[in-house]
Structure 1
Amino acid sequence: MSIEQLAETAQAMVAAGKGIIAIDESNATIAKRFAGVGIENTEENRRAYREMLLTTPKLGDYISGAILYDETIRQSTKAGVPFTKVMMDNGIIPGIKVDKGTFPLAGFQGEVVTEGLDGLRARLEEYYKLGARFAKWRAVINIGDDIPSGTCIEANAHALARYAALCQEVGIVPMVEPEVLMDGEHDIQTCYEVTEVTLRALFDALYNHNVMLEGTILKASMIVPGKDSGEEASVEDVAENTLMCLKTAVPAILPGIVFLSGGQSDEDATAHLDAMNRMGPNPWPLSFSYGRAMQSAALKIWSQDLVNNVRKAQDTVYARARDNGMAALGQWKSKAA
């Protein structure tokens, strides 16, 4: 696939007023979410849940793409239509999570590195045949006493760059996600500094691996104080700090940036995105790639009646997509307002 086609896909992923829904939870993660609402974690229940999400009427109005899990990209609706076909028919680009999760970084207490590069080329070729046109790889950076280390940041940036180069080789747009976790007692300033160093290392590594930025999307975490810090940051503080950090470290040629919700409440994730877009114009479109912040309310509704509550749950998914789509334009109106 040419760079033009990769760039076209990347631009479609961040089309005005649209964002990404992340439904790429591993079976272990979905088991926890299901347990929380009393749903048995069977393959059929996982399939039915993903079908409920992906067949939400008019979802394509505000959702440009969905990140799937290996099991999900192979599944079909009850009527036998592959999920990827349902998505493409509704203007939603299929994406796939390809990393194998985080593992302790040997020699560095409290730090992790993401694995999954072995055999990745062959997996990406198969995912392309299954319909995936973008992929996601998540690195995790913890903030704590004397961490993150330069070694941890470098190891994760290197893995993200190798993954991104492999994606582009087979015609898949890489979404690179270096998540700086909210967990911890650090203040907002520390989050800013760690995020800036992480982003600089990431773009250095992408450059060194000949990754074409025009065909790459950044999935970024916002600049927020650690959740055990006791520090309160206003919506404006988070938006201003996040924008300043991104402008310092992210090249303007990137087609777009999508944010992860990363443990923020549904409302906060939307309010922060909206504030950043109101502060524009910005060098890149700023949109969303939310998982829990798009699904948690719908999952609660669906769990009460897996057959009869489908439409009611879908209405919630659509409402969340619309709120975040409006926030991506800087036009969201808070219920409290």
Structure 2
Amino acid sequence: MNTKQLDRIHTGKGFIAALDQSGGSTPKALLEYGVKENRYSNDEEMFELVHEMRTRIIKTPAFDSEYILGAILFENTMDRSIDGQLTADYLWEKKGIVPFLKVDQGLAALDGGVQVMKPIPGLDDLLKRAVERNIFGTKMRSVIKEANPEGIRKVVEQQFEVGKQIFAAGLVPIIEPEVDINSADKAESEKLLKEEIKKQLSVLDKDVKIMLKLSIPTVNNFYSDLMEDPHVVRVVALSGGYSQKDANEKLKHNHGLIASFSRALSQGLSDGQTNEDFNATLAESIQAIYEASIA
């Protein structure tokens, strides 16, 4: 584990950029960027276009360590290069941004009010490649749609079980049990979720380090106590479908919680923009998300 990167994530000012749309979500991400499906005819062409989009974002002047602590990549992006360097190396060596990798393979069907992660075949091999490519940490997502105690317990247990496997491989896991922002009982789900997270944290080995990626809570500063746990490197927030403006406004009221936005970060960006307009739009978004994260 890179201790310089660990210290930066733990104490640095800024936020984490999520550039990890993958598989089924890639066509939607490209469409929002203005790239229609008639622009590609197979997966390789599709992933080449999305890598061009991510490269454009990463190479923007404002995409810099002054504002951004880390960036989450998709496996395909990790294996590609920017200006002759593997993406993770470019991020850290050229930009001073800590690289993470999305490792989950999507969600299982809704059961008990939640969607746990699908099995992750070949995870050990993927983690080995991630270490070889100088990745610092990983991210994996589950979803909670109802305040079902048993379902939420299953989500958290699975997340921590895989998280321990990831830490043992030399990486810091971002545990992401997302609570659906449209859930009718979101606040109750968050109470149950925090209880289960605390149970898992209480039985971790002393040296284990994790991060948490959570929906912006209904009650401001609800996760402050989790930030104090010695196992927790950082607690970050997903935008969860909120507009960038709404996500930033809610984030400002949660001291110590920093952004890890995807759609809210790329909002307003388009393939057809001139570089000047693209850079200006992204710079404005980065500044706004940064200010919300340090409020």
Name the larger-Rg structure.
Answer: 1
* Contact 1:67-1:95 within 8 A present in 2 as well: yes
Change (3 A) 1:9 1:199: farther
Match of 2:100 among 89, 95, 101: 95
Q: How does 1:14-163 map to 2 (within 5 A)?
A: 14-39=10-35, 40=39, 42-60=46-64, 61-77=66-82, 79-89=83-93, 90-104=95-109, 108=111, 111-143=114-146, 148-163=147-162
Corresponding residue SS for 1:256 = strand
Change (3 A) 1:37 1:287: closer
Task: Give distance in 1, aligned partners of 2:25 and 2:166.
Answer: 25
Q: Which moved more, 1:30-39 or 1:81-90?
A: 30-39
Corresponding residue SS for 2:241 = coil
| Aligned-pair CA distance for 1:18 | 0.9
Corresponding residue SS for 2:162 = helix
* Contact 1:219-1:260 within 8 A present in 2 as well: yes
| Aligned-pair CA distance for 1:44 | 2.3
* Residue type at the aligned position of 1:12: R
* Residue type at the aligned position of 1:328: S
Corresponding residue for residue 246 of structure 1 = 223
Residue-by-residue CA offset, 1:250-293 (whole Å, 9 max, x unaligned):
6543332111111111111112222323xxxxxxx321100011
Task: Give distance in 2, aligned partners of 1:211 and 1:136.
Answer: 21
> What TM-score does the superposition give when structure 2 sets the normalisation length?
0.87
1:323 and 2:288 aligned: yes
Can you give the 5+ residue segments of structure 2 that lack an aligned partner in the other structure? 41-45
Corresponding residue for residue 218 of structure 1 = 212
* Residue type at the aligned position of 2:293: A
**CA RMSD of the aligned region, Å?**
2.3
Task: Give distance in 2, aligned partners of 1:64 and 1:38.
Answer: 28
Corresponding residue for residue 43 of structure 2 = none
* Residue type at the aligned position of 2:285: R
Corresponding residue for residue 200 of structure 1 = 195
Corresponding residue SS for 2:242 = coil
- How many correspondences in the alignment? 284
> What TM-score does the superposition give when structure 1 sets the normalisation length?
0.77
Identity of aligned residues (%): 23
* Residue type at the aligned position of 2:53: Y
Change (3 A) 1:314 1:91: same
Corresponding residue for residue 233 of structure 1 = none
* Contact 1:219-1:257 within 8 A present in 2 as well: yes
Change (3 A) 1:220 1:117: same
* Residue type at the aligned position of 1:208: V
